[in-house]
Amino acid sequence: MTDWPSPGPFRGVIFDIHSTLIDQGAAEEWLDAALAVVPHPLSTDERATLIAFLDRIWEGARISDPGSSRDLSFADHSRVFHELIAAGPGVDRELANALYDVMLDTWHAYDDTVPTLQALKAAGIRVCLLSNAGVPIRNVLDREGVSPLVDAVVLSYEVGCVKPDHRIFRAALSALDLDAANVLMVGDNANDDGGGASLGLRTLILPRTSGRVHGLDAVLRLVVTD
């Protein structure tokens, strides 16, 4: 019989980053930021088509790169992006480069991210951020005031494996110095973020939402009991 852990009180939380704590922003904002760098005349129809494509581009990556190899290095991430954009609605290389260069500029913390992390810190709950990331996402965490509020950050390109591989969840648990039975995993993707369940990590999936508030108060209701 498998020796499953007995769940204990939560002493730590592991958060996914993208679409859990950090909103990637509207595709229209992303396109306008790129066009500010490299002006391109676009008809109304061309603009609408490109915005719709950019809004779903990373869903396309799940098809073309199901193993998330893009999140093992900056070079691989850039390569997959440019392959996707080349297969899209006729974006030339100059605009594609601009889109990639400004991409992280439109990524911002949800309005309830910092207050949630502050409340966890005040309650003595240890926090680790865990992400499949092939981009310099630490820059976003620093800019958005997230970095000082967490105890550890574990990124796929630094540890050489991606969610849902159990090894990356073990790395996060090690960084927290806590047992899985005392940690809550919070993410937005059941497949990727559920990979730690086999280790005994209780897992909360918050579906992707629109708007500036992501519903992170659910974490506090589960974890902060006093």
pLDDT tens for residues 122-152?
A: 999 999 999 999 999 999 999 999 999 999 9
Q: What is the pLDDT of residues 39-50, one digit of tens each?
A: 989 999 999 999
Predicted pLDDT of residue 2: 56
The answer, yes or no, to whether residue 1 has pLDDT greater than 80, is no
What pLDDT score does 11 carry? 97
- Band (pLDDT 50/70/90 cuts) for residue 225 is confident
Domain ranges of the chain: 12-23+108-223, 27-106
Distance between CA atoms of residues 25 and 33, nearest Å:
11
Q: What is the CATH number assigned to the segment(s) 12-23+108-223?
A: 3.40.50.1000
Predicted structure pTM score = 0.93
* Cβ count near 127 (within 10 Å): 23
HEC readout, the chain: CCCCCCCCCCCEEEECCECCCEECCCHHHHHHHHHHHCCCCCCHHHHHHHHHHHHCHHHHHHHHCCCCHHHHCHHHHHHHHHHHHHCCCCCCHHHHHHHHHHHHHHCEECCCHHHHHHHHHHCCCEEEEEECCCCCHHHHHHHCCCHHHCCEEEEHHHHCCCCCCHHHHHHHHHHHCCCHHHEEEEECCHHHHHHHHHHCCEEEECCCCCCCCCCCHHHHHHHCCC
58-67: pLDDT as tens digits: 888 888 888 8
pLDDT of 13-41, one tens digit each? 999 999 999 999 999 999 999 999 999 89
Per residue in 88-115, pLDDT (tens digit) is: 887 899 999 999 999 999 999 999 999 9
